[in-house]
Each structure stands twice: as structure tokens, then as C-alpha cells.
Structure 1
Amino acid sequence: MSRPVRTSLSVIEDALGPLEGKHVLDLGCGHGALAKALVRRGAEVTGVDPQIEAVEAAEQAVPEARFVQAGAEHLPHRDGLFDAVVILNALHHVPAPLMRAALREAVRVSAGPVLVIEPLAEGSFFEAVRLVDDETEIRALAQAALTDAIAAGDVTLVRMEEYEDHRAFSGPEALLRKIVEVDPARAEIAARRAPEVVEVVRAVAEPQGEGFVLIQPHRAHLLRRPS
């Protein structure tokens, strides 16, 4: 399948329109990378993450935003508080039985769109990462939760699109650091399987200068509250 090459941030900007002055919920905010990008574009950002360590790191990284520790399936916010909600690479981290509840909560607290962007279980970046943390099943469960939520009328689908995110790395060590940065629990396995990751990179990566590029396909669902 041929997909356009895009960044997730460009997809977010297209879906939400001008960000200046909008109150955006970053659901599953992690250490605040997306929140920082949204703040730089003039958004008022609230981030939510279930891990207190992530919330504390995000508070340090983005003091202009507000961060709350909470599970996505039970948000401590009133109906329609936010102008938009973004769930970037985070739905598959919600326990599978709670994914649909998280989607219902997202549309409940949004007066406007809810954008869910999920990585697919394919592409050269996935092939390298799966040696450390194979998310094949959980990524499929996230897609199934979206399909089921739309079919059941929990949410309304506005549009869906797929794109490729091309990720550049200076070398295998940079890739391994990124894999562990996303989830520090991966550190021991990443160290043990580093030689295998290097072999996969040699087989599937596209050379670029002194480093290489890996490709991660994504699927974006633009949703809204059901009528």
C-alpha cells in the first residue's frame, strides 16, 4: 500500500485547524513531547497520563502546560471542557478491556474533534522494535477497539487516513536509546538483544548520510461525539 509521508504533528494540525488559543487535551501525554509542540503553536494544553513518573517529567519539560495523573478510562474533567482531544500513540497502552471506555471518555470531554493516531504493526521501525517489545497483538486490539466503538455508536467517525512516519537515526545506539526512552522497562531486553536489533537494521533500514531511516506506518481516526 502506498501511503503519504507525513509527520504526526502535521496530521494533528490538519485535523484540528489553527491551534492558537485552543484548549487541547493530550491524552496519554508521556513525558510531554507532544504537549511541548502544541504549546509552541499557541495551544492551551492539559496532559493526562496514568504514570506519576511521566506526569512529573512532563511538568518539568513543559511548565506552560497543566498535567494530571489519571487513567484514560475515567477522566476527572467535565463534559465538553476541551476544544479537542489528541491520543497520539497511546491507545494501545490502555489495558485492552478499557480501550472503548477511554474512547467514550475522550469524546465526552471534547466539545470538538477527537484525533486518535495509532502505529500499525508493520514497517521497518516496527520490525526493529518488536525484537525488544512485540506489540503486534496490542496494536491490533487498539484498532479493533476503534472499529467496535464506531460500529456501536460510542463515537462517530469523521474520517480515517494512513501515513508513513520516516524516522532518522544516527546509528543503532540512537535507535536503542529511543526504544528505551519510550518505555524504560525495555532497558534490560534492549541491552540483551542489541546485536539482533543491529542485524535487523542492516537488513531493513534505508541509509541516510552517516545514519539510516526507519519507517513506521500510522492510522489516524478523526472522531467526534455521536449525535
Structure 2
Amino acid sequence: MSNPADTRARIVAILQEIGARDVLDIGCGHGALAKSLSRDGFRVTGIDPSAEATATATARVPDATFVTAGAEAIPFAPASFDAAIFLNSLHHVPTPAMPAALQEALRVLRPAGEVIVVEPLAKGSFFEVMRPVEDETTIREAAQHAIDDLLAQGLATGPAPVVYERATPMPDLEAFIDYLAAVDPARRAVADALRPRLARLFAKNVVNGPDGQQLVQPLKIWRLLAKTE
């Protein structure tokens, strides 16, 4: 069983393996990944369509650079980065724009660079409790289809994706609602309105782990390389 830090460890291991220095964080949000990677010595540039998110990230991670931009139109020249990362962000790109977002990430890579995509699957105990608040089944599946299509069209290559589980400590329902609201504050009102239902789902799905109660979310990680001529 893994924890949230394990995802970052997997990403760092890939970046070290390919000798990456300049890294693009696509859908950077408030800069959590950028802060972690900057501490590890990587030069990080983050993009996000939310100006509020990039402003917060800039204040939070002064060693990184943040630009307000959408993934489907990355404002950087070809061969600008050694790696580009979508950490739980591809499914937030509008579905019609997902193919362009992936191709843009490949475009800005240097030779032998990689696009790392981490996506949550539409299953697992965490997802089952979250589903009434925001059911991401369709958009999560769309993100996977976009990657499958990219590979099927020969626009990228890469090894088979790896599936692993993230175990998130969750002592009670309040902690779960706080977790959801930290990602999107609008979720709190929805969760409060559904509190009795969520309480039943939480009790049904929560499991005991080595550090107390937890909810488990399966994720899949891809390593995509630009197709060479």
C-alpha cells in the first residue's frame, strides 16, 4: 500500500532516471508538486488556467516559475523541458482539448524527454465515498481514452502504464470533507447537503491501516515519449 508521498517518489525516480533538470508541471494548482520538486533541486515551471492558482503558487514557491495558461496551448517553445507532468490534472482539461494537451506536452520536450501522467481511476474506496459529491467517472475515463488514442495513433510511445494504490489517512468524515474542499471549496456545500449519505458510505468503505483509518485510491502512471521519425 502506498501513500500520497509515494506518488511524488515515483515521479522523482523517473526524473532522476532520465536526468531531468527542467520540469513543466501542467495543471500545477497551488504549487504542491512544484514545491516538492524544487526542494529536490529541479527547475520547475508550472502552468494552470487559474490566475488565482498561479498567484498562490508563486507566493508559495518563490524558486519556481508560474504562468497562467491552459494545457492545450502551452506558451513555450519546442525543446524547452526535460519532462512534463500531469499529476491528477489531465482529467480536469476539457475533454475535447485532452488530445491537444498531450501533444503540446510532447512538443515542448527535449530529445529523450518524457511526459509523466498520473491519473486516478474511477474505482476504489476513496472514489466510492467521493462519487456523490462529484462523480468523475466520465472525465477520468476520457483522460485514459485520450492517452490510449495518442499511443494508438503512433504519436507517442512508452512502456505499459503501472497501476498502484494510494492510501490516504482519513480519521473521520470531517477529515474527508476537508480533503475534498481543499481541492475545490465548492464541494463543501454539496458534501454538507449529503452528509447522512456520505456518513454511510464512509463507514462502509473506510479500512484500518497501519496508521489508522484510511481510504484507498487506485492510480495509473504513464511514461510517454515523443515518437521519433
Alignment of 1:83-162 (within 5 A): 83-111=82-110, 112-162=113-163
1:34-87 CA distance string (max 9 Å, x none): 111111111111010001111111112211111000010000000010111111
Specify the alignment match of 1:217 in structure 2.
Answer: 218
Specify the alignment match of 1:5 in structure 2.
Answer: 2
Contact 1:19 1:42 (8 Å CA) reproduced: no
Specify the alignment match of 2:68 in structure 1.
Answer: 69
1:168-223 CA distance string (max 9 Å, x none): 02321111011011112222212211222222111111135895100000011100
Specify the alignment match of 1:164 in structure 2.
Answer: 165
Task: Provide the secondary structure at the position in 2 that maps to 1:223.
Answer: strand
Aligned-pair Cα RMSD in Å: 1.8
Uncovered stretches (5+) of structure 1, i.e. residues with no partner: none
- In 2, Cα distance between equivalents of 1:103 and 1:135: 20
**Amino acid corresponding to residue 133 of structure 2 in structure 1:** V
Q: % of aligned pairs identical?
A: 43
Offset, 1:154: 2.1
Contact 2:20 2:82 (8 Å CA) reproduced: no
**Amino acid corresponding to residue 42 of structure 2 in structure 1:** A
Task: Provide the secondary structure at the position in 2 that maps to 1:197.
Answer: helix
Specify the alignment match of 1:16 in structure 2.
Answer: 15
- In 1, Cα distance between equivalents of 2:208 and 2:175: 14
4+ long deviations beyond 2 Å: 18-21, 207-211
Change (3 A) 1:208 1:221: closer
Offset, 1:19: 9.1
1:60 aligned to 2:59?
yes
Q: What TM-score results when the alignment is normalised by the length of structure 1?
A: 0.93
- In 2, Cα distance between equivalents of 1:96 and 1:21: 29
Contact 1:121 1:136 (8 Å CA) reproduced: yes
Change (3 A) 1:86 1:113: same
Q: What TM-score results when the alignment is normalised by the length of structure 2?
A: 0.92
How many residues are aligned here? 224
